[in-house]
Amino acid sequence: MNLSQLYKSGDTETTVRKTYMVPLDELFIEEGYNVREINQAHVEEFKAAFIAGEFVPPLAVEVTETGVKIIDGHHRFLGAKAACEAGSEIQRLECKDFVGTSADKIAYMITSSQGMPLSPIERGAAYLRLVNQGWSNSEIALKVKRSESDILQHLQLMECTPYIQKLVREGRLNYALAIELQRKHGLRADSAVSRMMGKLEGTGKTKITRSIAQPQFPAKKARNFLGLFQEAEVTGEGEFVCIRIPANNYEAYENIMEEYLNGMNDNGQNEQSTTENLSESCCNAESMANGENQSQH
């Protein structure tokens, strides 16, 4: 017995929800409508499925004045066309009506289990489309079953520069780190990130990591720096003081300062943040040194 026979028997609460076999040449894709970018490898997977005669889920469509517009199933449609070009005779595709508002259609494309997982850029662009239709972050979160913080974070990604978004799209920069770098460097974000990409040349690496974006000055060198100052003599009162460093320590002091400043400036940090970071490194080093001294006692 099949479902049709079960339904006709009357001994069930099964209901009918129709699908339709729509000619391939009556279906069309609206450019820029799909929240997912076309992935050729995914198209090839559906092409192989059609050629092998495997089951492919129906497309979700909407009838318009210009034809039957695909709401969900763009890769399936392109896979069917590719199979036809390879010699398969596919005249029609199974389709079902999509019922809902334009916002419902976007939300459906986001949550559809038939599509490929959305990339951060695709997800952010889809959320932005819903925002532009008047949806609040909380409404979007409820509709797509994600947290409000997820919605906010992906919308912030859409505020990043095209260059930074390109790196995220190519997988060369984590989207959360991209947001941090955009917020931190502002108008200088592109040049700062470009310098970080330059550091990858010749290393065999292609992705900016947190250790590259936010390098930490070695604690050992910070302790050495602190040790040099412990041997310095401070004189004077009032607004200015004089720090006298032993001549044999000055070169080591200068080398540490130069290395630190070069490292921080390479990542676009200003002088104030550089000084603050060095002070923090020295404080951490002093705490570690005190801890070591106490453990020795």
pLDDT digits (tens, 9 = 90+) for 68-126: 999 999 999 999 999 999 999 999 999 999 999 999 999 999 988 667 889 999 999 99
Q: Are residues 251 and 223 in the same domain?
A: yes
In this structure, what token pair is assigned to residue 257?
């300062």
In the listed set 43, 68, 99, which residue is the last one of a domain according to the structure?
A: 99
pLDDT, position 218: 64
Task: Please name the residue ranges forming H helices in the chain.
Answer: 3-9, 40-51, 74-85, 102-111, 120-132, 137-144, 148-157, 162-169, 175-185, 189-200, 210-213, 219-230, 247-266, 271-296
pLDDT value of position 125: 95
Q: Please state, in angstroms and as integers, the Cα–Cα distance from residue 237 to each residue in 61, 234, 241, following that order.
A: 81, 10, 6
Domains identified in the chain, total number: 3
Owning domain of residue 168: 120-213
Q: What is the pLDDT of residues 2-35, one digit of tens each?
A: 777 787 887 888 888 889 999 999 999 999 999 9
* Whether 151 and 208 share a structural domain: yes
Rounded to two decimals, what is the model's pTM? Answer: 0.69
Q: What is the pLDDT of residue 244?
A: 81
Judgement on whether residues 74 and 29 belong to the same structural domain of the protein: yes
CATH label of the domain that carries residue 85: 3.90.1530.10
Please state, in angstroms and rounded to a whole number, the distance separating the CA atoms of residues 90 and 99: 26
Residue 256: count other Cβ atoms within 10 Å of its Cβ: 18
pLDDT score for 275: 46
Same domain assignment for residues 177 and 194: yes
Q: What is the CATH number of the domain that holds 182?
A: 1.10.10
Cα-trace Rg, the chain: 30
Report pLDDT for 263: 60
Mean pLDDT of 60-66: 94
